[in-house]
Amino acid sequence: MATPPKKSWFDNLRESQVWNSIFRHGPPDNTRNRSLAVLTNVFLHLHPVKVRKSGLRLKYTWCAGGTTFFLFLVETITGLLLMFYYRPTAEYAFVDILDLRSQVPLGVMREIHRWGAHAMVIAVWLHMLRVFMTGSYKPPREFNWNVGVLLLVLTLLLSFTGYLLPWDQLAMWAVTVGSNMARATPFLGNEGPGAALLKVGDIGLVHAGDDARFALLAGRFVGSAALLRFYVLHCVGIPLVAAVLMAVHFWRVRKDGGISGPL
């Protein structure tokens, strides 16, 4: 009488009630279970079950879009961790950034966040280049290209708002120079063409205390109010909008026929 082969601990684990309550299908060694692995997992289900083989080629996609998304996740996680130690006031901001390096364990969190941000900007540009060069913005994907353009702009805005947070000379003057362009917005900036025409009687409606730049900085210059405003935009406002658009973006990739390929 042959003894049945001894079960490994992993086999036992796989037959346990707990395991089966979490994973609702067997090991992914056949087509059905592999499909279920993607279908029944909330994180994987934004993939289709099957994709074009040509779309999987790294030389076709460069994995630029996926890289951008991964870097967004890295930024979210590291950014969240940084928020535990950073106070967005003119009084503390600079010191807290210094402390992140010296007083906080594993003092590279800020570095990962910053270099990840730079890498994300580059990745999103390369993704745009790839999508353009493969003609993947053509029908039926026109709308998704537009969502992508908005995401690109939001990526730059995320970077720009984050740039102010260290509250050093580099940050402050980069934002001063950048936000001063808002002064020149036609009609809406106090130094924009046409702003002088908007007046009631003799009183100009657009001046340094109520124009586009003022709305951005919550003041006439880059001060504590601007720091707080940029902080909120950087940590909550823009990421929320970007997350919604990303959901739309990935959804539309699938609905418009997956990764593009020749018709």
> Residues 13 to 72: which contact other proteins by CB under 8 A?
28, 31, 34-35, 37-38, 44, 47-60, 62-63, 66-67, 70-71
Task: Supply 254's token pair.
Answer: 């699938």
Q: Do 135 and 260 meet the contact criterion of CB atoms below 8 Å apart?
A: yes
72, 79, 88, 167: which one binds other proteins (CB under 8 A)? 167
Question: With binding defined as CB under 8 A, does residue 157 bind other proteins?
Answer: no
Judged by CB, which is closer to other proteins: 14, or 168?
168
**Residue 48 DSSP SS3:** coil
Q: Nearest distance from residue 99's CB to other proteins, in Å?
A: 11
Neighbours of 172 (CB within 10 A): 20
14, 76, 104, 145: which one binds other proteins (CB under 8 A)? 145
Across 14-50, b (16+ Cβ under 10 Å) vs e yields: eeeeeeeeebebeeeeeeeeeebbbeeeeeeeeeeee
Q: Nearest distance from residue 7's CB to other proteins, in Å?
A: 25
72, 82, 96, 116: which one binds other proteins (CB under 8 A)? 116
Q: Do 101 and 107 meet the contact criterion of CB atoms below 8 Å apart?
A: yes
Q: How far apart are CA 102 and CA 96, in angstroms?
A: 10
Task: Supply 22's token pair.
Answer: 């979490």
Q: What is the DSSP letter of 200?
A: E
Q: Nearest distance from residue 3's CB to other proteins, in Å?
A: 34
Judged by CB, which is closer to other proteins: 181, or 243?
181
Binding mask 172-211 for other proteins (x = CB under 8 A): xxx-xxx-xxxxxxx--x-xxxxxxx-----------xx-
Cα-based angle 83, 85, 86 (whole degrees, multiple of 5): 65
How far apart, in Å, are the Cα atoms of 53 and each of 38, 169, 224, 258, 262?
Answer: 17, 50, 53, 11, 12
Q: Nearest distance from residue 1's CB to other proteins, in Å?
A: 39
Q: How far apart are CA 56 and CA 217, in angstroms?
A: 45
18, 133, 200, 203: which one binds other proteins (CB under 8 A)? 133
State which of positions 229-248 bind other proteins (CB under 8 A): none
Q: Nearest distance from residue 2's CB to other proteins, in Å?
A: 34
Q: Which stretch binds other proteins (CB under 8 A): 2-10, 80-88, 94-102, 235-243?
A: 94-102
Q: Do 128 and 152 meet the contact criterion of CB atoms below 8 Å apart?
A: yes
Q: Which stretch binds other proteins (CB under 8 A): 3-11, 13-21, 221-229, 239-247?
A: 221-229
Count of residues engaged in binding other proteins, rule: CB under 8 A: 110
79, 88, 166, 239: which one binds other proteins (CB under 8 A)? 166
